[in-house]
């Protein structure tokens, strides 16, 4: 699944369109998130999305600088950009930790597993208030 999460651990976008083993640019395009962010009303001004190097950088998409031994300013940028992505990983951990159905391998059809994940994330959002 692919999700967009704010710093308050709220999931604002969730897609289960493609398998998790796919290159990140595939679900980004297939989910409609790339199209949404490209629109003028897709994301408020001053907001941005931290993506990995699979996506193309843009006005609202921040990719890491590539390479080793980068100048201090680029290393700092990479560090803070990467730190912002940890919220997504933490939300996945919270959802899995909260819902016992995710503690083992999900042995359902892909369609049913997708539904289970979406319901667990929505319940997570409700519990946050």
pLDDT digits (tens, 9 = 90+) for 91-104: 999 999 999 999 99
Task: Say whether pLDDT at 107 is over 80.
Answer: yes
Buried b (16+ CB within 10 A) or exposed e, 60-70: bbbbbeeeeee
Non-local (6+) Cβ contacts of 68 within 8 A are: none
Task: Say whether pLDDT at 71 is over 90.
Answer: yes
Q: What is the pLDDT of residue 129?
A: 83
3 to 31, 67, 77, 88: CA distances (angstroms): 10, 27, 22, 7
pTM: 0.72
State pLDDT tens for residues 5-55.
888 888 988 888 776 655 666 777 777 777 877 777 877 877 888 887 777
Nearest-angstrom CA–CA distance, 129 and 126:
5
């Amino acid at each position: 699944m692919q999700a967009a999460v704010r710093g308050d651990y709220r999931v604002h976008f969730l897609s289960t369109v493609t398998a998790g083993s796919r290159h990140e640019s595939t679900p980004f395009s297939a989910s409609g998130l790339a199209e949404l962010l490209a629109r003028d009303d897709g994301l408020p001004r001053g907001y941005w999305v931290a993506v990995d190097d699979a996506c193309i950088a843009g006005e609202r998409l921040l990719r890491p600088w590539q390479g080793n031994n980068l100048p201090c300013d680029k290393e700092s940028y990479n560090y803070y950009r990467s730190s912002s992505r940890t919220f997504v990983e933490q939300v996945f951990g919270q959802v899995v930790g909260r819902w016992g159905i995710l503690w083992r391998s999900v042995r359902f059809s892909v369609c049913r597993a997708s539904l289970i994940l979406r319901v667990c994330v929505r319940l997570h959002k409700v519990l946050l208030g």
